Amino acid sequence: MIAMSVNDKTRTGLLLLDKKPGVTSFAALDEIKKNLGTGKVGHTGTLDKFAGGLLLVLAGRAVKLAPWFSSCGKEYEGTVRFGVETDTLDPEGEPVFYGEIPSREEVEKAFSLFRGGILQAPPSYSAIHVGGKRASELARSGNPPEMKKRPVSVYSLELTFWEPPFAGIRLSCSSGTYVRSLARDIAIAAGSRAHLAALTRKRIAGFDLSEASSPPALVPIDTVVIEKLNLPWFEINSRDVQKIIHGQPPGPILDRGTLHAPPGVRDHRSAAIFSAGNPGAFIAMIEKKDGIWKYGYVYC
């Protein structure tokens, strides 16, 4: 059974799950749902079936916090196989293009083109909706959609090993970055073709794969969790908690509170609110719009 860090009746909190390759992200939640006794469980960023690594899973009322978890940066380690590109850009697809194996120097030169802000076309086999349908559904029906390029950021990208036709990569990137597409584009830039042969998600924001326990433990949404999201948080008194519950504007309440921010975080458009009267009690998420704090989700 999953160890509970909050009242069992609430079944609310965060779990760090080490998803194994060969299991879909959806199927990986089945055991968690069974052990928690609730279907109100959701991951905050899918991993392809062939990939493994860290999934952040929210349960109970915490499911509503998914937008603040899914927008985080991520770190990956993977293996690229040069010489053949598959239709899915992973090892489960069918070969569609072939190319010569590039040199290490050509690969490293190509890497330099994909660091920083880039425009990237997502894979046609993906969950992105095109014309009201998933791109993957259209691709499987024989009508792969044209995937428009969109801006993403690759903060770091390095070669970890070179054993032709295989190359190891390590990268950190923004939410929305497809490593499968990155492998494809690097190969084309190097005068070759490739697909992503293996992938492990090592980190999401401040959460590390090494923290994922087996079985996964349900932990509360506390200040540690918020700071690992690299978000600031406010501490307010118990009287002001009641005012939030009754929907009073957060601005004056926050003026009376105490702001805490992780190192390097000066300003952010999102923040959390906790109760000083009940230490660790999570109250709400707020967002700044046009310079004014608004409620994103009242949790209490």
Residues tagged active-site: 48
Count of beta carbons in the 10 Å neighbourhood of residue 24:
13
* Rounded-to-integer distance, Cα 213 and Cα 195, Å: 31
Residue by residue, what is the 3-state secondary structure of 145-162? CCCCCEEEEEEEEEEEEE
Q: How many CB atoms lie within 10 A of CB 273?
A: 27
For 80, phi and psi rounded to 5 degrees?
A: -100, 135
Cβ burial 135-147 (10 Å sphere, 16+ → b, else e): bbebbeeeebbeb
| Cβ–Cβ under 8 Å, residues 158 and 111 | yes
The answer to whether the Cα torsion of 91, 96, 100, 106 is positive or negative is: negative
